[in-house]
Structure 1
Amino acid sequence: MPPAPETARQAVTPVVAVVDDDPLFRETVSANLAEAGYRAVAFAGGAALLDWLAQSNQPAALLLDWQMPEQDGPAVLEKLRQAGYDLPVLFLTGLNQPIFEEKGLRLGAVDFVDKSKSFAIILQRLRIALTAKVPTADAAVLPASGGLVLDVASARAAWNGHQVDLTHGEFKVVHLLAQRIGRDVGYREIYDAIRGAGFEAGHGPDGYRANVRAMVKRIRQKFRDLDPGFDAIETYPGFGYRWRHG
């Protein structure tokens, strides 16, 4: 049976949903979350989570396993988004190859954490996800360059009057580049804007570069789907990218 709906008093403590088919992992993570000041609500699979959410429960975040027997984590996340749930999702998985991280971020997860990391690392990533905000601006709508308009309040972008279907992380990248029009922005700064300062990913000290390249490639394609001639994002080889003037 899924847990009962949250009461007003229980909601004072931030609730973190945990979905993992390993009962020992669920128990361990739940206990660690309790010690850190959160209340974990654990599920063995995505179906139970969706039933619980349908009872008007609203967790602060979701820790989601990638590999599960009935529905894997990506399938669960897709169902969450299709159902309109916009809570921050962090994948916890032993699959540490960049291709899996790229897929998770493309689906709308805010983070991708190796299960072999200590709980202190998982907790840090959770706290970053819970406190991350889209950069504010003096106005909700920011005319950036050429045909780009950014609605900072809702994290939406438009190009020549048409909405660009960006994920939250992709919007952060576009917003960062648009704030620095005509100036070069390095791989590390772009990655930090998405994941938090100092986070390492991929193989070797510069492994994060592959993730940034893949994300920028996806962003460019989304703009080109609307405008085949889109060329506003320029590459500075070996360093990063810039949003050009005009």
Structure 2
Amino acid sequence: MQTILIIEDEKDLAELVAFNLEREGFRVMTAHDGLTGLDQASRIKPDLVILDLMLPGLLGTEVCKTMKRNEKTAAIPVLMLTAKGEEIDKVVGFEVGAEDYVVKPFSTRELILRVRALLRRAATPPSPGSVVKVGPLTLDVERHSVAIDGAEVSFTSTEFKLLHILVQRQGRLQSREVLLRDVWGYAFVEDSRTVDTHITRLRGKMGAAGELIRTVRGFGYKIEL
């Protein structure tokens, strides 16, 4: 039975989410402030954390950042659950390492679909080991590392998977919907801005090499020399 930790200060909401997840067969634990949630994440090592952004004691961004810096909890997928839905809030959430983002109010069905998609991704081993080079970019699948002009660059697990798919399909145009399906495991067309946000993050981290990622207006993206 997979364990999910909900860190949410609204107790009624936490209980509602817990009830629906338990009905789907998950074991659920809850915490109502950031410090308690961080302690539980470290002790019980859940399969996934659902994390509110605005928490007493320690903000959700700090909880996520601390988890991703700790080797014991770094691999645990984090789903941000928050009332803040501005683009900058999503960028901040992804910047500190969150794998996905759901804005309140949300449908329980969508939340469960996203939870299952994140758990599938976490359980999927990397494809057969290989080193792929595209111009100044070197992607090592086995080491889960990326280097640009020989210098290693740090990417979150989601950023790495997105970049890996684009590199694997070099020169082939990928729609936002296809990327949502293959990277995030779902295809909510109305959420295609998630892809755009991650592409922006990728380009920013890649520096001049970010120009390898081409935008095809109105459709999607591809990597091309």
Q: Is the 8 A contact 1:184 1:240 kept in 2?
A: yes
**Post-superposition shift, 1:80?**
1.4
What is the aligned partner in structure 2 of residue 102 from structure 1?
A: 91
Evaluate the alpha carbon distance shift between residue 25 and residue 230 of structure 1 in structure 2; reply closer, same or farther with a 3 A threshold.
closer
Root-mean-square deviation (Å): 2.3
Separation in 2 of the partners of 1:230 and 1:114? 29
Amino acid in the other structure paired with 1:103: V
**Post-superposition shift, 1:174?**
1.2
**Post-superposition shift, 1:151?**
2.2
What is the aligned partner in structure 1 of residue 30 from structure 2?
A: 42
What is the aligned partner in structure 1 of residue 170 from structure 2?
A: 181
Q: Could you tell me which of 196, 211, 219 is aligned with 1:213?
A: 196
Evaluate the alpha carbon distance shift between residue 118 and residue 184 of structure 1 in structure 2; reply closer, same or farther with a 3 A threshold.
closer
Separation in 2 of the partners of 1:31 and 1:155? 36
Gap regions ≥5 residues in structure 1 = 1-12, 203-207
**3-state secondary structure, aligned to 1:17:** strand
Deviates more, 1:173-182 or 1:152-161: 152-161
Q: Could you tell me which of 108, 113, 119 is aligned with 1:119?
A: 108
Separation in 1 of the partners of 2:55 and 2:104? 14
Evaluate the alpha carbon distance shift between residue 237 and residue 52 of structure 1 in structure 2; reply closer, same or farther with a 3 A threshold.
closer
1:19-65 Cα shifts (integer Å, max 9, x gaps)? 1111222222222222111111111112112223443x211100111
Does residue 151 (structure 1) correspond to residue 131 (structure 2)? The answer is no
Question: How many positions carry a matched residue from both structures?
Answer: 222
Gap regions ≥5 residues in structure 2 = none
More helix by share: 2
Q: Is the 8 A contact 2:121 2:184 kept in 1?
A: no
1:188-230 Cα shifts (integer Å, max 9, x gaps)? 323333323322445xxxxx2x443332222122121xxx466
- TM-score, normalization: structure 1? 0.80
What is the aligned partner in structure 1 of residue 11 from structure 2?
A: 23
Overall identity of the aligned pairs, in %:
28
